[in-house]
Amino acid sequence: MKYIKSLRNGLILFSVFILGSLSFSCKQNLDVAVINENKYENNKDAKAYMLNGNGRSTSDSITFSGTDSTAFSIRLSSPVSSTASFEVKYDKSVLDDYNNEHSSEFVALPESLVSIGKEMSVVSGKSCSDSSYVVYKTSEELLKSGLYVIPLRAECSSKNVDMSVEKSKFLLFVRDLSKLPNCNKSTGIKIISCMEVNDTNPLNNLCFTLASNGKPLIDMVILFSANINYDDETGRVYIYNNENVQHLLDNKEKYLKPLQDRGIKVVLGILGNHDRSGVANLSDEAARQFAMDEKAICEAYDLDGIFFDDEYSSYQTPVPPGFVEPSSKAASRLCYETKKAMPDKLVCVYVYSRTSSLPDVDGHESGTFVDYGIHDYGGSFDLSSNYPGMPKSRMALYSEEFSRDRFSSAYNLQSLRDNGYGAHMIFAMDPSRSNFGNQLSAMQRI
């Protein structure tokens, strides 16, 4: 699998003027005025404002399908000397004022579809409250893909806090996608888009739908890729996200949630990164620890699973302390521990190198804890012996490499379907590439 490094354009020019060789003499004295500060006094009250879970203080825009929620908290400009209590309320006048000021006609989500959680408190000595949640749901009356606004206002019942007038109001713009077709298709076949996210927006996957019913073509998006790295100071392996991957995760409401709202699974790729660590050389204990790190990142960013690719690791001989000889056995252990740590998430592997065939772990067949085996480009053989216990519906055949014009024929795709296999992968789909016409033709064949 080709790992494309992003190229950054832009040159910052610094002009440095060295004045040491020049002599200056100042013959005039400067009189600095003294300001009388007696007429000023410090505001001893803490200033309070509202933030949502994305760090926005006055408005935010999100999509949802069915039922969803957004976290809110109260922040203060300084710690309080005694506990202060706050309440978030649905207040349509906030939206009315906004529409009047901006000559807009945004429609409020009916209050009956909104519920607001507990009262929030900032305890003595602190400057931040715990979180409360605003929960909202769809109904038959809402328009298809309709845009609505949840108008909110925060109020403080304590005298020792001054609530910001402007930042006590919040407009949560929500678009209801529940009436749009999801990606579940009658064939049951899953199309997996492994996307090079260093230079491509994963939301491109929403642009391609079936002409017959409007369902998204893509069923799973793999963010390619995070890395497994070794920390010399701690002696542990960890998950490393470059700035592009981290940006998507930090802005998951914008880049990832719209995919999930259409039923598309979002999976994080784990790839070697040119050091001693890899997905195939962890000890049993290190695999368990790394699996817990994966669980933490999946929970933090609402990801649907992990994809393992045994490439680009600099495995060392002799084996460094804390590692084992690179092997399919070690790779299988990592997959097993990952599934054990988060049984509700997907575990996917690339049929390549030491993840191309995985042995049993503790009496469990690898096909019972690996959800998808994704063939290398062009690979089409049955994977039952590679991952015993894996059904045909979880085997991805005839993978395509869009950045290198390595496409699959209609004959192969038809064979995949006729023989009962259930998945197919495309890599590096990118509408900005010069060969997009060929990519589009390939997706039409799919």
Catalytic residues: 311
Residues 6+ apart with CB under 8 A from 84: 46, 48, 76, 121, 122, 156, 158, 160, 161
What strand order describes the sheet that includes 46-52? 114-116, 132-137, 67-76, 46-52, 161-163
Alpha carbons 380 and 392: distance in angstroms, whole number: 12
Tracing tokens 């909202």 back to the chain, one arrives at 136
ω into residue 321 within 30 of 0, thus cis? no
Q: Are 299 and 344 in contact (CB under 8 A)?
A: no
Q: Are 311 and 271 in contact (CB under 8 A)?
A: yes
Name the region of 312 (left: φ>0; alpha: ψ -120 to 50; beta: rest).
left
ω into residue 225 within 30 of 0, thus cis? yes
Tracing tokens 């064939």 back to the chain, one arrives at 187
Alpha carbons 381 and 357: distance in angstroms, whole number: 13
Q: Which long-range contacts (CB under 8 A, 24 or more apart) does 384-388 make?
A: 385/357, 386/351, 386/356, 386/357, 386/358, 387/349, 387/357, 387/358, 388/360
The closest alpha carbon to 155, from 174, 135, 132, belongs to 132
Report the SS3 class of residue 122.
strand
Q: What is the DSSP letter of 212?
A: T
- Enumerate the β-bridge partners of residue 52: 72
Alpha carbons 83 and 78: distance in angstroms, whole number: 13
The closest alpha carbon to 322, from 267, 283, 348, 350, belongs to 283
Residues 6+ apart with CB under 8 A from 192: 218, 219, 220, 221, 222, 348, 372, 374, 396, 423, 424, 425, 426
